[in-house]
Structure 1
C-alpha cells in the first residue's frame, strides 16, 4: 500500500469513537484497530496488551502483519509509529507528513494532530512497497 493510501485511510477514521479492542469506524477503534484499517490489514485479531505490554511482543505483532521495520527517526507520511506513552503504556500512531492520526482514549475518538507526537518513539514501520532498498534492517529501540 502506498503512503498516501495509508494516510487517507487513517484520516477516514478521524471522528470514530474510541473503544478498547475496537475494530470498526462505526463501533469504535483503539490504536491497533486504527493501524489495521490504515494499512488495509483485514481479518487479523491480534492479541496484545499495550498497557503493561512488552515492546518485543508488539513489534512481533507488527512484523507478523507484514510491515517492514525502518530506522527510528523522523517519520515519513504513512509510517506506523510505536510510542512509549507512559511507563507501562505503548501507543500506535500513523504519521501524516505534518502530524499524526491516533485513537485518543482521553478525548474519546480518533483525532488528527499537527506536529510531532509527544511520546518517545520506540519503533517505526511502513508498507513493504514504501520501504527503502535493503528492507527491514532498521534499528528499533526498546
Structure 2
C-alpha cells in the first residue's frame, strides 16, 4: 500500500499548495497530500479537520496519524512512510517518503514538489500505515 501511495503522490507533483487543502483539484497542504495519495492508492483515511498551520502540537499530530491507521516505526524506511519534520516557529510538516526521494506540499513554493531525501528527513520520526487499519 505504501509504495502505491508514494507513486500516487508523485502524480500530484505540481498541484497547488493550499492551507487545509485536501483536494488535488483545488490545492493540498502536507496533511492533505498524504491523505490524497493514500485515497488515490485505494485507502481512505480518517482526516483531521481544522488544524492550524502553526501551533498544532506534536501530540495532536501523532494522535491524528494514529486515528488514520499509522503507527510509529523504527524499521528501515519503506516507500509510503510518513515523516514528521519539526520546522521553525513551532510548525510541523508531514512528508511522504520514497526510497531516496520524498514528496511534500511546499508552502514557500506554493506547490507539491518531489525532492531528494536529505539527512534531516532520513533522521525524522516516521509512521507507517498498519495492515489492520
Using the alignment, how far apart are the partners of 1:117 and 1:94 within structure 2? 15
What runs of 5+ residues in structure 1 fail to find an aligned partner?
132-142
Please say if 1:85 is aligned against 2:87.
yes
How far off its partner does 1:76 sit?
2.3
What does 1:122-137 align with in structure 2 at a 5 Å threshold? 123-129=125-131
Show the counterpart of 1:55. 58
How far off its partner does 1:47 sit?
3.2
- TM-score, L = length of structure 1: 0.79
Using the alignment, how far apart are the partners of 2:119 and 2:80 within structure 1? 14
Higher helix fraction (1 or 2)? 2
How far off its partner does 1:115 sit?
2.4
8 Å CA contact retained: 1:76, 1:96? yes
8 Å CA contact retained: 2:71, 2:129? yes
Using the alignment, how far apart are the partners of 1:117 and 1:28 within structure 2? 28
1:39 alignment partner, SS class: helix
- TM-score, L = length of structure 2: 0.84
**Structure-2 change in CA distance of 1:117 and 1:110 (3 Å):** farther
What does 1:33-112 align with in structure 2 at a 5 Å threshold? 33-40=32-39, 41=44, 44-71=47-74, 75-112=77-114
Show the counterpart of 1:140. none
How far off its partner does 1:42 sit?
5.0
How far off its partner does 1:45 sit?
4.5
Using the alignment, how far apart are the partners of 1:44 and 1:66 within structure 2? 11
Using the alignment, how far apart are the partners of 1:75 and 1:89 within structure 2? 23
What runs of 5+ residues in structure 2 fail to find an aligned partner?
none
8 Å CA contact retained: 1:84, 1:91? yes
* RMSD (Å) for aligned C-alpha atoms: 2.2
Using the alignment, how far apart are the partners of 1:93 and 1:115 within structure 2? 10
